[in-house]
Amino acid sequence: MTSFIQYDEKSDFSIHNIPFGVAVFNKEYIACATRIGDLVVDLASLYDYSFFDDIEGLNENIFEAYTLNDFIELGKPVTSAVRKRLQELFTEGSALSHDEKTIEACFYDLDKVEMLMPIHIQNYTDFYSSIEHATNVGKMFRDPANALLPNWKHLPVGYHGRASSIVVSGINFHRPKGQMKPADATQPIFGPSQQLDFELEMAFVVNKNTELGESISVKEAEDAIFGMVLFNDWSARDIQSWEYVPLGPFLGKNFCSSISPWIVTLEALEPFRTVSPKQDPEVLDYLKFEGDKNFDIQLEVYLQPENGKENLISKSNYNFMYWNMSQQLAHHTVNGCNVEVGDLYASGTISGAEASSFGSMLELTWRGQNPIQLNDGTERKFINDHDTVIMRGYGEKNGIRVGFGEVSSKVLPAK
């Protein structure tokens, strides 16, 4: 496919992508959108110009909305048809390519729009599905010879997180406060976290509602997944390490998580399917799957001091995941837990075997023992006030590039 819209060959938003988001256009009104190159397309206006009239199931202008939830809920037959239609419209020689009136009304330069949270997130679950990350943490905090807990290779470990504090890229947040117990102290202290960390993750969005007691099988899972975003699960390690026994993450995690504004569909990621890591021992029947369920998505993390340059501090890949999305959703619902449109399921920190691919400061500095040197001469054990963390991700194969843009957020001093 060749588009009549010009964009850089390294653009994350090629004609092979066609992601979905929500934008404020000209500071005037909000509508659902897509992006190609550096142009953001107003889907509500495109609907009004009758470009989606013959798509079965799209019976009203559902793009006149503050979130994508209602569109996503229409399911793959409709959302995939809309994406395919947009690819056709953006192709060289299409009817739209000669329609200057529609182009002028519906296409906006990137700097003329503001991206909003793309979905209303009903519920949020965070998994713990990278074997390298789980092993590293186990070595640091438990017995290095038995880094993985006995259940880890038998089920996708996860916990229910806080949906209200998930924000879109560009929203900055204040350093969290809480209880901590320094190693040399006999009693806990209270104050701003001194070990603020990022976690490199990706997350998928569910497109359906199920009834209480209903399960989604591994085979059915991808039909229930609309697409994916980049996800930064900010973590206060000193608060977390004091509070997490016996019930797990709480204040060390629930203060903020950040997502990228564009949801990339599973259809767009199809060229980047890849084999999963071998699972040994063999999993139980309800977690068994066929075919390639992992995706080759290259991931990068940058740390930028205030008024400074970006520092590349990690290069990882989503294909390192031991447990795949289909297994995560199947396990999540096997007990009858119902899901809702817009539910967000994060992968857990994504780390590879090499130190350069670790997905958190906790691992990159090995709990602060090996500080990272930045290009301005300073060093970091964890994240400082006024630091910005930027994550980027993309798939690239056979001349096709599909990316997520970035998720970026700055840490402000504690209130």
Catalytic residue among 16, 133, 331, 332: 133
Residue with tokens 């006999």: 186
The whole-angstrom separation of Cα 260 and Cα 269 is: 16
For residues 57, 58, 60 and 63, what is the CA-based torsion angle, rounded to 10 degrees? 140
Is residue 122 a contact partner of residue 163, using CB atoms and an 8 Å limit?
yes
Residue with tokens 């539910």: 343
- Spatial neighbors of 65 by CB under 8 A, at least 6 apart, are 22, 30, 31, 32, 71
The whole-angstrom separation of Cα 305 and Cα 34 is: 31
Q: Peptide bond preceding 246: is omega within 30 degrees of 0, i.e. cis?
A: yes
Active site residue 386: no
The whole-angstrom separation of Cα 141 and Cα 29 is: 50
The whole-angstrom separation of Cα 99 and Cα 291 is: 42
**b/e for 315-344, b at 16 or more Cβ within 10 A?**
ebbbbbbbbbbbbbbbbbbbeebebebbbb
The whole-angstrom separation of Cα 353 and Cα 346 is: 20
Task: Report which of 98, 93, 82 is spatially closest to residue 46, judged by C-alpha positions.
Answer: 82
On the 0-12 / 13-18 / 19+ scale of CB atoms within 10 A, 395 is: buried
Residue with tokens 């395919």: 84
CA angle in degrees (0–180, nearest 5) for 393-397-398: 155
Q: What residues are annotated to the active site?
A: 133
